[in-house]
């Protein structure tokens, strides 16, 4: 399927550029106008298939909701919204979010702009969508967009500048900022292979997230390039508890496992916890490598070998791109992928 630019209006009957209507989006998607409206209002009362078709049609036709001109909106529009598409538990336990949002807030302070942060899950998306459509903000940063009903699909129709943090798994024409998750994961596993580890497992993050999918792909790249066919994988949900269970499953499946690459430092810490309970020495019996290089990596014992991603730079870059779009500048490129770095410590 080919996706057109989300910012290009479709030609009218006489060849002139005219905005697409909601009815035209519904017709192109093969759904009712009511269903199209529910999708573009972030309602959860639609199927994933209908959601995808409507968002694809809106992107292809360049549909944008009518909204009040920025100059006529309230003074509250002098702000940027960060919409975090994740559950409350994850937002408050995964250090990435605090680091990223802190960096974005610091960058916005240079322009005397506040950052309004909201966490969206479930039916709250509809409420947040209404708030954003009311002209309260000058732009939106979507963080951790994922799942069968990604926010980027419906919020793209707001007509606001939007930057997505993390590679979107759905092909909407929105600029995004990300770390080189696939390359970083590949470097981590290549390091383990170079150290002579033979059976390397992976504690994977949810595959409906860009980082989860890309770090799993990097793991597979490195293992398959080495000529090996054994790719033991167990999934976690970014938490220590889930990673401890995943580590148990990996050891049950591969008692000879001598190394594990976890998709985050938090999950690597969970793996370390279980390995200790199981009487396995780190790294003598099982080496452990994480991803992120949060402060946690240096606090775990033994200190974690991990992949450093430039979280603070991601925050500043996302803000700079968003403000440029708000000023009417076209993006130089839709994908900004920042390099990662392997940090070797004691766990591998």
- How confident is the model at residue 188, as a pLDDT? 98
Q: Can you give the pLDDT at residue 187?
A: 98
- Using DSSP's 3-state secondary structure scheme, residue 244 falls into helix
Predicted confidence (pLDDT) per residue in 205-231, tens digit: 999 889 999 999 999 999 999 999 999
Cα 258 to Cα 17: distance, rounded to the nearest angstrom: 61
Name the pTM for this structure.
0.77
Strands in 287-289's sheet, in edge-to-edge order, are: 233-235, 200-204, 259-262, 287-289
pLDDT at 217: 98
**Residue 307 three-state SS:** strand
* Strand 139-143 with 306-308, pairing: unpaired
What is the predicted pLDDT for the residue at 172? 64
The residues facing 117 across adjacent strands are 82
Q: Which residues of the chain have pLDDT under 70?
A: 1-19, 34, 41-45, 64-77, 121-126, 147-150, 153-154, 171-172
Of 271, 265, 299, which Cα lies nearest the Cα of 287?
A: 271
Q: Residue 253's pLDDT is what? A: 94
List CB contacts of 330: < 8 A, sequence separation 6 or more.
Answer: none
**pLDDT in the model for residue 171:** 64
């Amino acid at each position: 399927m080919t996706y057109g630019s989300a910012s290009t209006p479709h030609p009218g009957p006489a060849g002139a550029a005219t905005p697409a209507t909601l009815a035209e989006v519904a017709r192109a998607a093969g759904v009712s106008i009511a269903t199209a409206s529910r999708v573009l209002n972030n309602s959860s009362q639609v199927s994933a298939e209908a959601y995808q078709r409507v968002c694809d049609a809106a992107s292809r036709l360049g549909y944008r909701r009518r909204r009040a001109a920025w100059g006529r909106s309230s003074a509250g529009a002098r702000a940027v919204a960060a919409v975090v598409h994740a559950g409350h538990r994850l937002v408050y336990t995964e250090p990435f979010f605090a680091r990223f949002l802190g960096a974005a807030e610091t960058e916005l302070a240079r322009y005397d702009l506040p950052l309004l942060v909201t966490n969206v899950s479930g039916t709250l998306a509809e409420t947040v969508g209404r708030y954003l459509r009311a002209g309260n903000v000058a732009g939106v940063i979507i963080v951790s967009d994922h799942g069968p009903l990604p926010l980027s699909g419906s919020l793209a129709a707001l007509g606001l500048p939007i930057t997505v943090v993390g590679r979107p798994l759905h092909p909407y024409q929105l600029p995004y900022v990300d770390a080189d998750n696939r390359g970083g994961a590949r470097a981590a596993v290549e390091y383990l292979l170079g150290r002579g580890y033979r059976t390397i497992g992976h504690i994977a993050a949810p595959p409906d997230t860009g980082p989860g999918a890309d770090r799993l792909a990097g793991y597979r790249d490195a293992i398959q390039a080495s000529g090996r066919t054994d790719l033991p994988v167990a999934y976690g949900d970014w938490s220590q508890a889930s990673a401890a269970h995943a580590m148990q499953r990996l050891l049950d499946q591969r008692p000879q496992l001598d190394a594990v690459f976890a998709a985050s430092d938090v999950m690597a810490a969970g793996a370390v916890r279980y390995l200790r309970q199981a009487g396995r020495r780190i790294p003598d019996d099982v080496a452990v490598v994480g991803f992120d290089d949060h402060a946690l990596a240096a606090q775990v014992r033994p200190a974690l070998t991990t992949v450093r991603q430039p979280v603070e730079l991601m925050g500043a870059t996302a803000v700079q791109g968003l403000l440029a779009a708000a000023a009417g500048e076209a993006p130089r490129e839709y994908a900004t992928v920042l390099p990662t770095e392997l940090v070797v410590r004691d766990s591998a």
